Amino acid sequence: MEPDVSIETLSIIRIAVLPIGTIPPTLLRDYHSMLLRHHTIALSAISSFYTEHQKSPFTNQPWDSGSLRFKFVLGGSPPSPWEDFQSNRKMLAVIGLCHCPSSPDLDSVTEKFNVACKSYSSALVRRCFAFSPGDSQLEDGDKKGENLILFPPSDKQTQEFHLQTMMQDIAASLLMEFEKWVLQAESAGTILKTPLDSQASLNSEEVIKAKKRRLGRAQKTIGDYSLLAGSPVDANAHYSTALELARLTGDYFWYAGALEGSVCALLVDRMGQRDVALEDEVRYRYTNVILHYRKSFIQEIAQRVSPLSFELEATLKLARFLCRRELAKEVVELLTNAADGAKSLIDASDRLILYVEVARLFGALGYQRKAAFFCRQVAQLYLQQDNRLAAISAMQVLSMTTDAYRIQSRASMSKVSVNNETGRLPDAGKMHHHSIVSLFESHWSTLQMVVLREILLSAVRAGDPLAAWSAAARLLRWHYPLITPSGQNGLANSLANSADRLPSGTRCADPALPFVRLFSFPLHSSQVDIVKRNPAREDWWTGSAPSGPFIYTPFSKGDANESSKQELIWVVGEPVQVLVELANPCCFDLRIDSIYLSAHSSNFDAFPVSVDIPPNSAKVITLSGIPTAVGPVTIPGCTVHCFGVITEHVFRDVDNLLLGAAQGLVFSDPFRSCGSAKLRHVFVPNISVAPPLPLLVANVVGGDGAIILYEGEIREVCINFANAGTVPIVQAHVSLSGKNQDAVISIADEALQSALPLKPGAQVTLPVTLKAWHVGPTDSDNTMSSGRNAAGNTGRPKDGTSPSLLIHYAGPLSNNGDSQEKESIVPPGRRLVVPLQICVLQGLSFVKARLLSMEIPAHVSDNLRDEDIERESNADSLVKINPFRGSWGLRFLELELSNPTDVVFEISVFVQLENSAKEDDSSPVQDSPEYEYPKTRIDRDYSARVLIPLEHFKLPVLDGSFFTKDPPPGSPSSSRNPSFSEKNTKAEINTLIKNLISKIKVRWQSGRNSSGELDIKDAIQTALQTTVMDVLLPDPLTFGFRLVRNGLEKDPETKAESPFSKGSVLSHEVTPMEVLVRNNTSEAIKLNLSVTCRDVAGQNCTEGADATVLWAGALSGISMEVAPLQEARHCFSLFFLVPGEYTMVAAAVIEDANNVLRARAGTASPNEPIFCRGPPFHVCVAGGAL
C-alpha cells in the first residue's frame, strides 16, 4: 500500500530526487522547495521543447488544456514489485541535486550520479542539477554532456526561472519518451507479469494463457502511459479494449486495474467538475473494481502475496472521492470495511498506512473521535517498533488525538476561546456547548489515562523531555484519584527525571501540582483609606467619610472605593498581600521551590516564597508584592516552580474544577479531600494602582494606654504624626468622628498646618485636650447615667466607645511636572483614622443622696422678729427662722461618695449664695458671693458623707402669702393665685431643684494633675424625688405661740426689776398668751383646736391631779374657722406653779376636708379625719418674786 492515494494518483509521474555529494541541510531544503513548486506543467508550455520525430500515438493530446503532473519522491524509494501492473509506480525520471562548492570535482559528481541512476532502471530521463558552480567548474561544465546542468550563481528569481525552464525540458523529454515506448509496446513480445502470476512458465497451458492475456495487459499499460502523458481520451480508448480482452481471458486483476484507469481518465477529462451522475458512475465502477480485486484472490498463494492491499486501496480511493458530510454514512461504511481488512494484511507497514488513511479520512469527515481512535492504532504500531524515530512519530500522532480525548495541552488549547466558561452550568445553552463539555468530559478517564500514558512513554523513547513532562503533569493533575500511590510516586519521578534533562527555567503550559485557589484579598488599612479627590473643590474631604448612625444610606452617594467589595486600589511602592490556598491531594511530599502571583499587566513585582506541603493536606499562604506602575493589575493566578519546571496555575481552572465537583461531574474536590473547609467563591477584585501617595503614621505619645481618665478629668494628650511615604504631604485637614466627640475639647491643628508640607520622614506633634465623660450605670439604684456635663447632652452614650481623630491628607497635585498627561490626573488623597483609646475609669461614685431635715424648737418670744433675723443672719446665714412657723428649720443634702480607685480624692464643696429681697431690706451687710466648706478626704476603698446645708425651700410660697396678706398695689405677686394641681406642683418642684443644684459645685482633686468636677445634678434630682413632697410642700396649717405684748406694757415695774423680762415668763403670775393658726391653702378650713403644755418629762401639766400649770380660757375643743391665706388667733392665760422648761404644742382636727387636703395628708378613706400638729415651742419659766 502507498500513502495518500486517490483516484487521480494513476495520472501522476514519479520523479526521484537524489542528493549527490554533500549538501548542507538548509540548502537541500531550499532546493526541494523550489522543485516541489513545479508539480504541474501545462502542455502548452512545453511545446517549444517538444519536437515530433514521428507521428504521435496520442492522437487526442489536449495541447491547449492538458498538463503533466509530477510527484517528487525525495530521497527516492526502492522499486515496487507492481510496476508492470500500474505504470505510475515506476520512477520515470531521476533528478540529482548537487552543491558545487561542496563537491569541487564535477567528474566525481557525474560518476556518483550515474551510479545512483543504475538502481532506477525504469527511468526515462536523467538530469543532474549543479548549483552555485565556480568559474573553473563553469568552463569544464560544457564538456560533461547533456545530463549535467549547471546553475550559475545568481539571484533567487533567476534561479527559479532557470529551474522552470529545465523542468519544462524534462517534461518534453518525458513526453517524447512516452511516445517512443507506446510505439514499441504494441509490437513487442514482452510478457507483463505481476506477483500474482504463477511462476511455472514451462507449462504449455500457462504459456498459452499468458500469450492470450498479453494483448489485454499491453493495452492497459498503453492506457497507463496515455494517462501519464496527459491524454485521457486516448487512455480511455485503450482501457476499453483492455477491459474486453481481460474479461474474455478471465484476468480479473488486470480487469480491475483497467477499470480503475478508466475512472481516472474520466475524472481527468472532466477537469474537476463533478455532478451526481458522475458520482454515481464513479461509485458503480469502483464497486466493480473492489469486487474484481476480491475475485482475484488466490487461496494457495495468499500467505505470500495478496491483492487485498489493492482492494483496500480502492476502498480508500472511493471513500476519499465521496468524503463529504452529506455522504457520511456511506463513507463510514467504506472506512469500516477498510478497517476490517486490516487484520488480514500481511505487511505491518501496510496496516500502518491503512490506519493512517482511515484516520485522515475520518478527520476530514468531521468524526474526531473516530480519527483519534485510528490515530491511536497508528501510534500502537509505531510503538511496537523499538527505535527513536518511530517513537517520535508515535508521539506526534498521539498529540493529534488529544483534542478528541480532551487531554490537549494548554498550549494548543489557547487557540480556543474559553472566556464564557466561568460560572456556566452544563446545560446553560447551546452556544457554549462545546466549551462546557470540554470542561466536564473527564469521565472518560480510562481513555484519557491510557492516552496520556502512551504519550509519556513515546516521549521518553523519543527523547523529548518537555513533552514527557507535560504528559506526566496532565496525568497527575487530572487523574490523581484513579492512580495508585505507587503510580503517583512514579509520575513524580517521571516529572523530576524529565526536568533534569530540561534547561533551567523551562516553562510548560500544563500545570502539575499543587492546586491553587484564591483564599482572600485582605484589605490593609492603608488601602481602605484612599479617597478620590475633586480638583474643583478645596474641601475634598467633605462627604468622604460615612457619618451618622447608619452604615448604609440609600440616598447618599457613597464612594465606590469604600462601599463596593469589587474595587481595590493599590499604591505604587507599597507592599500588598494576597492569601492563596494550596492543596496537595497526592501521597508524596510536595516541594514547591517558588510560588508567586503572576501579574499579566507587568506593573507588579511579586515576591516568591518556598512552601512544603505534606501529603493529602492544604495550606493557606500569604503572597505579597509591590505595584510598580500606575494602571490596572490583572492577577489570574500564580506562577509555580515545581518539579523543576515553571508553570502557571490559573484560579479560574480550579474554580471550574470545584464547580464540576459540586455538580457531581468530576471525581473529587482536591481541597475537600485534603481536609480544607468549604470556601465561598472569592472573586478577584478590580485592582488598579494609584501613583505614589504619602503615608501618615500616628502614634500616641506614651502609648495607647496613656489616655486613661477618671470621670470628668481633663488632660492634654500629644499625638505624633510621621510621613512614612515617599511623597510630601501638602494638604491636611483634621476632623472628628465616632462617638463621644464632645470628649475632645480642643485640637491644636494649627501645629499640623504650620508643619506643612510634611517631607518624607518628617514628624509633627499634635496636642489634643480631652475630657472624660460620665461612666454608664452602676450598681447603685440611686445613681443614674447621664450625658456629658460640658456638652449638656442628655443622650445615653454607649459604653466603651471612643472618638476618632480623622485626618484627610494628600500629596501634591502632580507627581511629575514634566508629564502632561499626569497633570490631568489628580492623585487620590488619603484618610487616617486615629482612634483615641480613651479609657474612662470610675472615679468617685455616688452611693446615695438624701435630703435630711432637722428642727430646733424656738423660744416663745414677744415678737422680736427683726432683731432675731438680724442676729441670726450674722451668725449663720444658711440657718433661717420661719417667723410664722416659730421654729428653726435646717435642711441638709447628704451625699455619700465612694472611692473605688487606687488614689486619694479630696472633695471641695462650693455653694453660691443669693440674698433674698427681704434680707436686703432688713440687713445692710452684704454677704460673700460664694461660701466654701472645709475639704473632705476620701482614701482608697473608703466612703464618705458630705453634708451640704440648704436654704429653706418653702420661702417662695410664704413670700406669696406674705404679699397676699398685705399686697401693695401694682405688685405682680398680687395677681398670683397658687394652685395645688399636680402639674403645677411638679413644675414648681423642678424649678426649685434646678435653682438649688445650680448653686452647688462639687469638685475633686486626685494627685497632682488629675482634677475634675462631679456631676451631681441627676443624682440629686433622683434623690429628691422621693422626699420632696414631704419636705417642700407647706403644711395646710402652721401654728405659732407668742406672748401678748399688752400684758408686759401694763406692768413696767416688773419689766424694770427683772433681768429676764425680755422673752421670759415668770412663775406664779398669770401669763397671757395667744396661738396663731395660719391657713396655707386656698380654701377656708374649719378646725377643732387644742393646746397642750408639757414638762421636760413629757407629762401634760394642765391635766390630772398633779397639774403644775393652771390655765384660764379654753385649751381644748376650740372651734375655729380660718379664711384662705389668713391667720386666726386664740387667746388664753397660763399660771405656772413650778419654774422650769415647758413645751407648748398646738394641734387641730380639720373638719369637712376637701380633696386637696386629703391628697396632701394621704388619707385612705374619705371619712377619716385629718389631724395636723405643729412643731413644739419652748417656754422657759423663771423664778418669780419668791
* Binding site residues, other proteins, CB under 8 A: 328-329, 332, 336, 339-340, 343, 362, 366-370, 372-373, 376, 405, 426-427, 436-437, 440-444, 446-447, 450, 663-665
**Which residue, 119 or 368, has its beta carbon nearer to other proteins?**
368
> Strand 1065-1066 and strand 1177-1182: pairing?
parallel
Contact 396, 409 (CB under 8 A): no
Alpha carbon distance 1143, 1130 (integer Å): 18
What count of Cα atoms within 13 Å lies in the side-chain half-sphere of residue 698? 24
**Alpha-carbon Rg for the chain in angstroms:** 62
Nearest distance in Å: CB 454, other proteins: 11
In terms of Cα–Cα distance, which of 27, 170, 28, 168 is closest to 94?
170
Nearest distance in Å: CB 73, other proteins: 33
**Which residue, 323 or 372, has its beta carbon nearer to other proteins?**
372
The three cell numbers of residue 198 are: 504463477
Contact 1182, 1060 (CB under 8 A): yes
**Which residue, 239 or 373, has its beta carbon nearer to other proteins?**
373
**Which residue, 323 or 764, has its beta carbon nearer to other proteins?**
323
The three cell numbers of residue 537 are: 473643590
Nearest distance in Å: CB 498, other proteins: 24
Nearest distance in Å: CB 367, other proteins: 4
DSSP state of 418: -
Nearest distance in Å: CB 678, other proteins: 18
Enumerate residues 6+ apart whose C-beta is below 8 A from 1166. 1158
What count of Cα atoms within 13 Å lies in the side-chain half-sphere of residue 304? 11
Nearest distance in Å: CB 372, other proteins: 7
SS3 content of the chain, % helix, strand, coil (to 5): 35, 25, 40
Nearest distance in Å: CB 362, other proteins: 8
**Which residue, 374 or 1111, has its beta carbon nearer to other proteins?**
374
The three cell numbers of residue 1123 are: 379664711
In terms of Cα–Cα distance, which of 288, 230, 245 is closest to 263?
288
Nearest distance in Å: CB 308, other proteins: 16
**Which residue, 447 or 618, has its beta carbon nearer to other proteins?**
447
**Which residue, 663 or 1154, has its beta carbon nearer to other proteins?**
663
Q: Which amino acid is at 347?
A: D
Alpha carbon distance 883, 1148 (integer Å): 20
Nearest distance in Å: CB 338, other proteins: 12
**Which residue, 326 or 781, has its beta carbon nearer to other proteins?**
326
Nearest distance in Å: CB 411, other proteins: 24
Nearest distance in Å: CB 615, other proteins: 26
Name the E strands within 878-975: 880-881, 887-899, 905-912, 930-932, 936-938, 942-950
**Which residue, 348 or 523, has its beta carbon nearer to other proteins?**
348
Three state DSSP letters for 80-110: CCCCCCCHHHCEEEEEEEEECCCCCCHHHHH
**Which residue, 502 or 661, has its beta carbon nearer to other proteins?**
661
**Which residue, 325 or 565, has its beta carbon nearer to other proteins?**
325
Nearest distance in Å: CB 369, other proteins: 5
Nearest distance in Å: CB 133, other proteins: 56
Alpha carbon distance 270, 278 (integer Å): 9
Nearest distance in Å: CB 352, other proteins: 16
Alpha carbon distance 544, 832 (integer Å): 12
Contact 418, 656 (CB under 8 A): no
Nearest distance in Å: CB 371, other proteins: 9
**Which residue, 31 or 367, has its beta carbon nearer to other proteins?**
367
**Which residue, 326 or 500, has its beta carbon nearer to other proteins?**
326
State the alpha helices, DSSP H only, in 125-274. 135-141, 156-185, 204-228, 232-249, 252-270
**Which residue, 319 or 834, has its beta carbon nearer to other proteins?**
319
Contact 811, 749 (CB under 8 A): no
**Which residue, 397 or 1101, has its beta carbon nearer to other proteins?**
397
**Which residue, 666 or 909, has its beta carbon nearer to other proteins?**
666
Q: At what angle do helices 368-384 and 328-340 cross, to 10 degrees?
A: 20
Phi, psi of 93 (to 5 degrees): -150, 155
Alpha carbon distance 414, 417 (integer Å): 7
Nearest distance in Å: CB 616, other proteins: 22
Nearest distance in Å: CB 377, other proteins: 9
Contact 332, 367 (CB under 8 A): yes
Q: How many CB atoms lie within 10 A of CB 316?
A: 24
**Which residue, 428 or 1031, has its beta carbon nearer to other proteins?**
428
The three cell numbers of residue 1091 are: 393646746
State the alpha helices, DSSP H only, in 651-742. 651-662, 670-673
Q: How far is CA 1079 from CA 516, 648, 1084, 1122, in A?
A: 96, 103, 8, 6
Nearest distance in Å: CB 375, other proteins: 10
Three state DSSP letters for 764-790: EEEEEEEECCCCCCCCCCCCCCCCCCC
Bridge partner residues of 1131 (DSSP): 1074
**Which residue, 407 or 847, has its beta carbon nearer to other proteins?**
407
Quickly count helices (H) and strands (E) in the chain: 33, 46
Three state DSSP letters for 1052-1070: HHHHHHCCCCCCCEECCCE
